[in-house]
């Protein structure tokens, strides 16, 4: 018995010792985490000046001194306005797009398929390409599920909600792999009796917003494209199947981001037309203090107008920095070409905008300022079934690309793309096709595999030239005319990109500033 007591005593002593050690380690762990009273008082004076990055603020017996609270509220509202600008970019971008078409074309409405093919029609669309003709429109699920019937053929497209979250590909990159099919799009308030029942040939998709955009690009001869487009049907469930197809009539519609108070007017319009999502309720609270509320008119005070206008300026400066001085990890690849959708393939903006522990913010704002809408196939690196996009904002010396200089983009060949590749030049201010319509070429921003009369070097490489002057004779196909005083940047697209495009086996183009093109046009 005595031995047992000694044994228990020893165990008790060990346990107490262990607990003591644990307490010490816990205390050590708390060191530097839990402030002492002295540290607490030193970081904020009871009476005195608080120096911050945004200026000095005075306290009087821990109260904000007379007049200081107003300064702090201005700071709060201004900071929120700038962040709300970034938050609202995808929604405002889509709303401006829809409103622009509705005001430009009297006959335009939901379920209208608008055909866009001319340079002038494209130049108001963020980072549009010149290679494929566009067909797009908007649907509204409030009155019933929107039915979209797509014929078999070489089409590329997707559906996306008003926050630019692409919820499915359609066409050759979609679930039917180009075999055509019927789609039903259901929104958050679609009446239950206006939703079709299950069917073997029907794919049902859910949009987080009432409105959504459908976008299709058809690849083929003009005759093939016309034949395919005539077979599309878009209508609300319960209505007679049909299609309202119209041409863009060579009209320019500015779909790039609004500035100043106009941005906030569009945001107010947008939130009043759409459902408030759970993830956005906090931001809706911020908007209240800036004069923007759901179910209430937009009538800001003079103070609010001043803050909104300045907040939009700062917000756009932030957006420009996110685009042109990106700090996201894993974006840069060979010689500073970067993934347009951010991060590694499949780990960037994501069409869902949702990551494991958070919803993305800066990448969403950056992409929606620079471009518009994303689909699943734009983020998934499946060789032969992916749309690969890379961009670059400086030459090989790290200098910005400016319209007053001469440049050579050397494109290594063959480019690993099953469908087509292109290098398209955009304006840094609008992020739209460079507007060189007054130049000798009369509007041309692209060099690619579909370019007529493209000159190819003996090693299958392509020499692309850019500059403010007219193109060298015989090199018109390889040339894009730039605009002095305006910056530019290229996108390289690879549709049906092969594995070499993803694993860096293919060497991306170089961009070099040159005095003239004499050594290239011999």
- Each residue of 102-151: pLDDT tens digit? 999 999 999 999 999 999 999 999 999 998 889 999 999 999 999 999 99
**Does 319 have pLDDT greater than 80?**
yes
pLDDT at 104: 96
Instruction: Tell me the mean pLDDT in the region 4-20.
Output: 51
pLDDT at 346: 45
Least confident of 339-353, 370-384, 432-446: 339-353
Instruction: Tell me the mean pLDDT in the region 507-514.
Output: 97
Q: 91 falls in which pLDDT band (50, 70, 90)?
A: very high
- Each residue of 250-280: pLDDT tens digit? 999 998 899 999 999 999 999 999 999 999 9
pLDDT at 244: 93
Domain 106-247 carries which CATH code?
Answer: 2.60.40.1610
**Does 309 have pLDDT greater than 60?**
yes
Between CA 147 and CA 241 the distance in angstroms is 8
CATH T-level fold of 334-514: Jelly Rolls (2.60.120)
pLDDT at 24: 52
From the number of C-beta atoms within 10 Å of its C-beta (0-12, 13-18, 19+), residue 40 rates as: exposed
Cβ distance 433 to 424 under 8 Å? yes
Instruction: Tell me the mean pLDDT in the region 284-291.
Output: 97
- Round the average pLDDT of the chain to a whole number and report it: 89
Instruction: Tell me the mean pLDDT in the region 21-40.
Output: 67
Cβ distance 423 to 494 under 8 Å? no
Between CA 98 and CA 162 the distance in angstroms is 10
Q: What percent of the chain has pLDDT over 70?
A: 91
Between CA 252 and CA 104 the distance in angstroms is 9
**Does 286 have pLDDT greater than 90?**
yes
The pTM of the whole model exceeds 0.95: no
**Does 23 have pLDDT greater than 80?**
no
Between CA 158 and CA 136 the distance in angstroms is 10
Cβ distance 216 to 139 under 8 Å? no
Torsion sign across C-alpha atoms 160, 161, 162, 164? negative
Give CA separation, 423 vs 123, 131, 149, 156, 186, in Å.
Answer: 16, 10, 32, 19, 37
Between CA 404 and CA 244 the distance in angstroms is 44
Order the strands of the 387-391 sheet from edge to edge: 338-339, 387-391, 488-497, 417-427, 446-448
**Does 333 have pLDDT greater than 90?**
no
**Does 522 have pLDDT greater than 90?**
no
**Does 305 have pLDDT greater than 50?**
yes
pLDDT at 262: 97
Higher pLDDT, 442 or 101: 101
**Does 464 have pLDDT greater than 70?**
yes
CA neighbor of 363 nearest in space, from 379, 337, 377, 342? 342
Enumerate residues 6+ apart whose C-beta is below 8 A from 416. Answer: 494, 497, 498, 499, 500, 501, 506
Strands 63-64 and 181-186: unpaired
Contacts 24+ apart (CB under 8 A), 344-348: 345/379, 345/380, 345/381, 345/502, 346/379, 346/380, 346/381, 348/379
Instruction: Tell me the mean pLDDT in the region 210-226.
Output: 88
**Does 204 have pLDDT greater than 50?**
yes
pLDDT at 345: 46
Residue ranges of the chain assigned to CATH 2.60.40.1610: 106-247
Integer-rounded Cα Rg, in Å, for the chain is 28
Between CA 271 and CA 163 the distance in angstroms is 11
Instruction: Tell me the mean pLDDT in the region 291-316.
Output: 98
Give CA separation, 467 vs 407, 486, 493, 512, in Å.
Answer: 6, 12, 21, 12
249 sits in the region (left: phi over 0; alpha: psi -120 to 50; else beta) called left
Cis omega (within 30 of 0) for bond into 414: yes
DSSP SS3 for 84: helix
**Does 362 have pLDDT greater than 70?**
yes
How many of the other CB atoms lie within 10 Å of CB of 105?
17
Token pair belonging to 248: 């863009």
From the number of C-beta atoms within 10 Å of its C-beta (0-12, 13-18, 19+), residue 214 rates as: buried
Per-residue 3-state assignment (H helix, E strand, C coil) for 455-493: CCCCCCCEEEEEECCCCCCCCHHHEEECCCCCEEEEEEE
- Each residue of 145-190: pLDDT tens digit? 999 999 998 888 899 999 998 889 888 888 888 888 899 999 999 9
**Does 343 have pLDDT greater than 60?**
no
| Distance in angstroms between the alpha carbons of the first and the last residue of the chain | 106
Query: ∠ CA(36), CA(37), CA(38), 5° rounding?
Result: 90
pLDDT at 335: 85
Q: What percent of the chain has pLDDT over 90?
A: 70
pLDDT at 29: 46
Residue ranges of the chain assigned to CATH 2.60.120.600: 334-514
Strands 202-206 and 181-186: parallel
pLDDT at 74: 96
- Each residue of 220-254: pLDDT tens digit? 788 888 888 889 999 999 999 999 999 999 999 99
- Each residue of 371-426: pLDDT tens digit? 988 777 777 777 777 788 899 999 999 999 999 999 999 999 999 999 899 999 99
**Does 5 have pLDDT greater than 70?**
no
- Each residue of 484-504: pLDDT tens digit? 999 999 999 998 899 898 888
How many of the other CB atoms lie within 10 Å of CB of 133?
21
């Amino acid at each position: 018995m005595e031995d047992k007591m000694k044994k228990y005593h020893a165990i008790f002593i060990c346990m107490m010792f262990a607990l003591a050690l644990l307490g010490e380690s816990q205390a050590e762990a708390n060191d530097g985490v839990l402030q002492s009273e002295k540290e607490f008082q030193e970081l904020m004076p009871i009476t005195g000046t608080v120096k911050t990055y945004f200026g000095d603020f005075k306290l009087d017996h821990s109260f904000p001194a007379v007049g200081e609270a107003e300064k702090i509220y201005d700071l709060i509202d201004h900071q929120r306005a700038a962040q709300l600008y970034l938050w609202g970019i995808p929604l405002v971008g889509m709303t401006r797009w829809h409103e622009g078409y509705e005001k430009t074309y009297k006959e335009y409405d939901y379920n209208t398929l608008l055909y866009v093919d001319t340079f002038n029609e494209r130049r108001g669309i963020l980072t549009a390409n010149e290679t494929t003709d566009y067909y797009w429109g908007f649907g509204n699920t409030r009155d019933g599920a929107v039915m979209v019937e797509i014929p078999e053929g070489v089409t590329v497209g997707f559906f996306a909600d008003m926050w630019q979250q692409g919820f499915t590909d359609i066409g050759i990159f979609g679930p039917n792999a180009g075999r055509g099919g019927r789609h039903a799009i259901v929104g958050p308030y679609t009446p239950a009796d206006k939703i079709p029942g299950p069917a073997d040939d029907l794919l049902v998709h859910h949009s987080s917003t009432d409105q959504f955009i459908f976008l299709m690009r058809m690849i083929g001869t003009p005759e093939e494209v016309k034949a395919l487009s005539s077979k599309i049907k878009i209508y609300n469930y319960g209505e007679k199947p049909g299609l309202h197809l119209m041409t863009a009539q060579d009209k320019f519609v500015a779909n790039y981001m609004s500035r100043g108070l106009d941005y906030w007017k569009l945001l107010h319009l947008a939130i009043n037309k759409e459902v408030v999502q759970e993830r956005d309720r906090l931001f809706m609270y911020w908007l209240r203090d800036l004069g923007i509320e759901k179910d209430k008119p937009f009538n800001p005070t003079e103070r609010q107008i001043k803050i909104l206008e300045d907040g939009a300026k700062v917000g756009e400066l932030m957006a420009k920095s996110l685009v042109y001085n990106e700090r996201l990890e894993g974006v840069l690849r060979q010689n500073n070409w970067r993934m347009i959708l951010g991060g590694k393939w499949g780990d960037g903006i994501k069409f869902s905008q949702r990551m494991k522990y958070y919803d993305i913010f800066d990448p969403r704002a950056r992409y929606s300022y620079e471009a518009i809408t994303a689909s699943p196939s734009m983020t998934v690196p499946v060789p032969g079934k992916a749309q690969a996009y890379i961009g670059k904002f400086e030459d090989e010396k790290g200098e910005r690309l400016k319209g007053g200089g001469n440049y050579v983009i050397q494109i290594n060949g063959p480019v690993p793309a099953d469908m087509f590749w292109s290098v398209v030049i955009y304006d840094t201010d609008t992020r739209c096709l460079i507007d060189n319509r007054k130049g000798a070429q009369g509007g041309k921003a692209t060099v690619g595999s579909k370019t007529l009369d493209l000159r190819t070097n003996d090693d299958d490489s392509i020499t692309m030239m850019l500059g403010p002057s007219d193109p060298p004779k015989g090199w018109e196909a390889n040339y894009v005319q730039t605009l002095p005083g305006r910056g530019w940047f290229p996108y390289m697209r690879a549709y049906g990109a092969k594995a070499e495009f993803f694993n860096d086996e293919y060497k991306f183009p170089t961009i070099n500033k040159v005095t003239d093109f004499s050594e290239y046009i011999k």
